[in-house]
Amino acid sequence: MGLKDYQEAWDYQEDLFKSVVDLKLANRDLPPAEQHETPNRLLFVEHPHVYTLGKSGSEANLLLNDNELKEKEATYYKINRGGDITYHGPGQLVCYPIIDLDNFFTDIHKYLRLLEEAVILTLAEYGIKGGRVEKFTGVWIEFDKGNHKGMGWNPRKICAIGVKTSRWVTMHGLALNVNTDLSYFDNIIPCGIDDKAVTSIAHELGKKVDMQGVQTKLKDHLIKLMGMEEVD
């Protein structure tokens, strides 16, 4: 989708999400032979500077007032996904899967772990070891305390995840920091976690990377892990 205003992309997600839910409801009144297959989509996008707050989050984790948001050329939205506050902006690859989990498995925890695994496998292709930190959703660098004995432990979040599901249809998704301007995270308490840092692929490698290449790798891993088949 390229660089797309957050509200515009959100409205598009909502339209696709509603169309799948409506189709599932309509199928309930039809015999199996006449039911229509529900589509599954992976939307990839970058956003202009924006902060979004999930339904379980706290506004106290946004450290800017309205005037300061304008100075940063950033917008702010309260949205209907899980999780707390996060930042989206240029250089960050956002993926919104609009999929019907009834086509695959009906387990939201498995779905979240699958999103994380797709990112972990993508990072590995760049020589970056990503993983999970107990009790926190998302993907982290220097995540394994046991691997850093005597060196301190500084887990850094490289990918945030927050989703919404209804009737096993998903929306929202993941945000992977690729060439992201990390200074924008200084204006929030990312995901409500105040003692851990954020990072990006570019920061870890010391150089910018091709966004399209990251997108292709992430898409391929998501398709394989979900057992999907790409169609035109």
Q: Which residue has the higher pLDDT, 84 or 192?
A: 84
Does residue 1 fall inside a structural domain?
no
Give every CB contact of residue 92 below 8 A, 6+ residues apart in sequence. Answer: 46, 47, 175, 176, 177, 178, 179, 180, 200
Query: Where residue 147 falls among pLDDT bands split at 50, 70, 90?
Result: low
Number of domains in the chain: 1
Active site residue 159: no
Residue-level pLDDT at 150: 46
Residue 198 in this model has a pLDDT that exceeds 80: yes
CB 36 within 8 A of CB 61: no
State the pTM of this model. 0.91
Does residue 231 fall inside a structural domain?
no
Residue 145 in this model has a pLDDT that exceeds 70: no
Residue 89 in this model has a pLDDT that exceeds 50: yes
User: Could you tell me the CATH number of the domain that includes residue 12?
Assistant: 3.30.930.10
What integer is the mean pLDDT of 149-171? 85
What integer is the mean pLDDT of 20-25? 97
Residue 195 in this model has a pLDDT that exceeds 60: no
Domain that holds residue 54: 6-226
| SS3 call for 186 | helix
Percentage of the chain with pLDDT > 70? 93
What integer is the mean pLDDT of 116-143? 93
Q: Which residue has the higher pLDDT, 108 or 150?
A: 108
Does residue 232 fall inside a structural domain?
no
In angstroms, the CA 213 to CA 224 distance is 17
**What pairing do the DSSP bridges indicate for beta strands 197-198 and 156-166?**
parallel
Does residue 98 fall inside a structural domain?
yes
What integer is the mean pLDDT of 55-84? 90
How many CA atoms lie less than 13 Å away from 104 in the CB half-sphere? 22
Residue 192 in this model has a pLDDT that exceeds 60: no
Q: Of 42, 123, 178, 191, which residue is the catalytic one?
A: 191
pLDDT digits (tens, 9 = 90+) for 91-127: 999 999 999 999 999 999 999 999 999 999 999 999 9
